[in-house]
Structure 1
Amino acid sequence: MTLSRNNSHQMDEPSPLPYTIQNLHAGQHYIRDGTTIIPCQSTTDPLSLPPSQEVIKVLSKQMGRLLLQLDIAWVTKEGSGVLPTEAEAMRLVFNNTDVPGPEVLFASFHRVNEIADPQQCDIRDSNPPDGLIGMTIAPGIPMTDEWDTLDDDAKESICYQLWDLVAKFRTIAHPQNDTNVRTRIYERYLHFGGLRYKNQLPRMLPRSEHSVFTHADIAPRNVMVDEENRVTGLLDWEWAGWYPDYWEYAQIMRPAFKGDWSEWMERTAPQRWDLRGIGAARKVLF
């Protein structure tokens, strides 16, 4: 009987799996040992493991990109579409402002090889698809987990904090106007069959005489806060760069967020722009 119970217990133990993208699932924890992984509990203490092993938490897995937390040390973002521009944007903000966010620890980028099945590619292969960014862990909790539970005072406070952070990285200026951006929007609008505002759109689009450094994707999912509702980190600088000074506002006002997030950001904005032209273009382009 004892032998039978032992055999049954052994059969219930998870078997090691190859360390590949398809074997990792969002929200799950694993113990990695070389090229294999074993599912584990979220309470597993990395300090209790031998040096050859580490605990991996899959923070996100979507659109060919993987966001992992490794032990209690760092976070990696890797996969398709992870480009050098994101790492450079993070370094630029970290080195030139006091805006809270991850520090880039290492990064490598490669051309995508011809792989029959990218899902079977070993994540640590010497030539991974596109890119890999290693960064420090941003403290706090994602604002998506907190926003709907906050009262009006807390929401207002967070929004004012975010606009203050925007003002800080906007000082990293780049001397150019927005003519190219407006031309591009108009050309794309016509290309995709936009007819209603064919003649009016160039006049409807907001104008700017200079560009400023812009995050371009400030949303609850990319904001970390602590228990006292202080912003502790801005994440995901994938779309960051120099844009017309109205672009941050336009991106935050996108009709893509549930709840009253955009309403509070609009209410606390230090400056507002007429976005009717952007809205007309988005109905066709986005």
Structure 2
Amino acid sequence: MRLVKEHAPNVPVPLVHGSLYKFNDGVPFYGELSMEFMPGRTLKSMWAELDKTSKDRICQEIWDLVAQIRTIPRPDDLGPGLYRTVDGSPSRDPLLGDNNDIPPRDLDDDTLRDRIYSRYVASNGLSYRDIEDIPGILPRSNISVFAHGDIGPRNIIVDENCHITALLDWESSGWFPDYWEFAQMMKFCDPLECEWQRWMEKTMPKAWDITGIRKVRRVLF
């Protein structure tokens, strides 16, 4: 959040007042943040109340914020085609790793795609008849851009005029492929968020093809 404040000051994030972490033998097991209160309601709680004009406008506003987020510069030691979480820890995204299958700290595009496919296979993805298509249809990217990594109605605070007052929950953020933000928006969700996903896909500024990611998420979600 401090990085966003510094490099994308028009993106609304809470001001961090302080943090507390507890460790056990050097391993963190508890953490909390003290943050500024951001007024409003979650977009999830009010989406059904909005008319089509408001839904279209707020989705465009989200995409405008994404464009600003993408400009946050990479660290000097992270090349233009390498991916890394913002704090440098291994990703725990189900597509890339978990506590029992920890991915490398830095990933290039081929390594990222190989990990997605290997985890798909390890999770019994080969039980699907169309498995031969997966490696060839996983999206590719030759750049890394900053991504929130978990934008959804539950993490968006809006005011009574339906303007965004905060983006919350940045723990999945980092530098990832060009398509990553959109792919993360399209994760499996509850029915209340599915219509929002359709609006975000309808209003997206670029036609990212995430067919392969959608198929992989049959077993990795």
> Gaps spanning 5+ residues in structure 2: where?
75-79, 83-108
Q: 1:226 maps to what in 2? A: 159
Q: Within 5 A, what are the aligned runs for 1:146-157?
A: 146-157=46-57
1:210 aligned to which of 139, 143, 153: 143
Q: 2:61 maps to what in 1? A: 161
**What percent of counterpart residues are identical?**
46
**CA separation in 1, counterparts of 2:209 and 2:39?**
36
1:200 aligned to which of 107, 124, 133: 133
> CA RMSD, aligned part only?
1.7
CA offsets, 1:8-56, max 9 Å, x none?
xxxxxxxxxxxxxxxxxxxxxxxxxxxxxxxxxxxxxxxxxxxxxxxxx
Q: Secondary structure at the match of 2:191?
A: coil
CA offsets, 1:164-222, max 9 Å, x none?
00000101143224223212101101111221344321211011001111111111111
Counterpart residue type for residue 284 of structure 1: V
Q: Within 5 A, what are the aligned runs for 1:75-224?
A: 90-97=1-8, 98-112=10-24, 129-174=29-74, 175-177=80-82, 178-195=109-126, 196=128, 197-224=130-157
CA offsets, 1:108-143, max 9 Å, x none?
322247xxxxxxxxxxxxxx9421211111122211
TM-score when scaled to structure 1?
A: 0.60
**CA separation in 1, counterparts of 2:11 and 2:47?**
21
**CA separation in 2, counterparts of 1:176 and 1:257?**
33
Higher relative contact order (CA 8 A, sep 6+): 2
The 1:112–1:156 alpha-carbon spacing in structure 2 relative to 1, beyond 3 Å, is farther
Q: Secondary structure at the match of 1:236?
A: coil
Aligned residue pairs: how many?
Answer: 183
- Are 2:197 and 1:285 equivalent residues in the alignment? no
Q: 2:101 maps to what in 1? A: none
Counterpart residue type for residue 113 of structure 2: R
Give the number of the structure whose alpha-carbon radius of gyration is greater. 1
**CA separation in 2, counterparts of 1:148 and 1:253?**
19
Q: Secondary structure at the match of 1:283?
A: coil
Q: Within 5 A, what are the aligned runs for 1:262-273?
A: 262-273=197-208
